[in-house]
Amino acid sequence: MYERILVATDGSELSAPAIRTAVGLAKSLHAQLTAIYVVAPYAQGAMESVSMLQGYRRELQKEATRALAAFEAEADAQGVAAQAASIAGREPWQAILQAARKHKCDLIVMASHGRGGLAGLLLGSETIKVLTHSKIPVLVCR
C-alpha cells in the first residue's frame, strides 16, 4: 500500500497523534518513514544585530531538535527505523510538499490544529493548504 510516509511536526502536543499514527502505519506496512520540521527563515531588519540573528537561529534549532527527538523516541519505542530532518521554508505547506516529492513519499501524515471560525480564516491552515495542493494522499489526525 504505502511505501514511503512523511510526517510533518511542529513540535506541539497536537502533533503527537500524527507522529504516533505515522509510526504505527510505517511499522504495520513496513514502510520507510521520514519526519520533517519546517524552520521559518529570519527576516533581519536594518536595526537588528548579527548576535540577535544568531540567537534566533540557535533557538529555532533547539526547537527543531526537541520536536524531532520526540518523533525519534516514538519511532524507537515502536521499533521503526526512521529519518528526521529540519528544513527551511517561508511557507510550511510548500516545504512539506517539497519534502514529500524529494523523498518520493506516497502519503503525508500531519495534525490539524482545529482552528475554526475567524482564527482559522485569518491564520490560514497549513494542513488545508497541503490538502489543497498535494497530489498524494494526506492523512489528517485531530
Instruction: Give the cell for residue 38.
Output: 519546517
Q: Tell me how far CA of residue 70 lies from CA of 18, 23, 37, 76, 132, in angstroms.
A: 12, 12, 11, 10, 28
Say what the pLDDT of residue 122 is.
46
Say what the pLDDT of residue 118 is.
52
Domain ranges of the chain: 4-141
CA atoms of 128 and 83, how far apart (whole Å): 25
Q: Give the residue ranges of the chain where pLDDT is below 50.
A: 119, 121-123
With vertex at residue 40, the alpha carbon angle to CA 35 and CA 45, rounded to the nearest 5 degrees, is 165
Say what the pLDDT of residue 123 is.
45
Q: Under CATH, to which class is 4-141 assigned?
A: alpha beta
Say what the pLDDT of residue 125 is.
85
Say what the pLDDT of residue 84 is.
97
